[in-house]
Amino acid sequence: LTASVAARNGAKPCVAALTRVTDCPAHRRAVRGCTEALRVLGRLGRTDLRGRASALDAVFAAMDVVEDAAFQAQAVRTASKLATDALARKAMQKLASVDAIKKLGRVLECRTDAPWAAEAVDILTKTLRRALHEEDHAKARACVVALHRSRKHATEDYAGMFLDELRRHPTRDVIRDTATLVSNEAFRAALISSDGVNVLLPLARDAALADAAE
């Protein structure tokens, strides 16, 4: 995959590579190739790129499954070039689904200092309050993770909520969301002080959940 090929075909070759890597996120060669695809896509992101929104969605989808640190760092840089103010404003308009909330969180992650970031955080905070009132646990979790990605909002007060979910419904999604949040020192401390280690240890012994819990 080269810049010249991508220039002739827009974002399509890069998007195709990113789509394929979501099926084999731990394949080292595929991840290395897609890291290069991300660099190309980042350069194209500075131009009037066709398929910008689809390309951004593909980057975010790959970020959700590929754990490689170099890939993640490049993905954030690339997404910052693709996520225009117009696309960010569109992401802020309707947070009716968990996927929409997750997308806004990713947009904030790559544009933390954008002029609209504070407004986006405010929208997420209101959406979180509504989700908690309606006992919509999936939306509430998505909002907390999105606020964490913004790096502009404390999340440690919600450690208990995540522990309750881990006790009652320890799905892979809940475990992944918790793993994302424990990268924050304050959240990690709150989780540990609430006996979080003893909640996670049995999950690590569950064959169906072990890789996520670890």
pLDDT range class, residue 207, cuts 50, 70, 90: very low
Q: 170 pLDDT exceeds 80? A: yes
- Tens digits of per-residue pLDDT, 110-135? 999 999 999 999 999 999 999 999 99
Rounded mean pLDDT of the chain?
88
Could you tell me the two tokens for 32? 């290395």
Q: Which amino acid, 196? A: G
Q: Which residue has the tokens 């509504």?
A: 130
Could you tell me the two tokens for 9? 């075909």
Q: 214 pLDDT exceeds 60? A: no
Distance CA 182, CA 166 (A): 14
The torsion angles phi and psi of 136, rounded to 5 degrees, stand at -95, 90
**Which of 19-23, 65-69, 205-209 shows the lowest per-residue confidence on average (mean pLDDT)?**
205-209
How many CB atoms sit inside 10 A of residue 156's CB?
Answer: 16
Q: Which amino acid, 46? A: R
Distance CA 160, CA 187 (A): 10
User: Maximum distance among all alpha carbons in the chain?
Assistant: 55
Question: What's the predicted TM-score (pTM) here?
Answer: 0.86
Give me the percent of the chain exceeding a pLDDT of 90. 64
Q: 1 pLDDT exceeds 50? A: no
The separation between the first and the last C-alpha atoms of the chain, rounded to the nearest angstrom, is: 35
Distance CA 133, CA 44 (A): 43
How many CB atoms sit inside 10 A of residue 11's CB?
Answer: 25
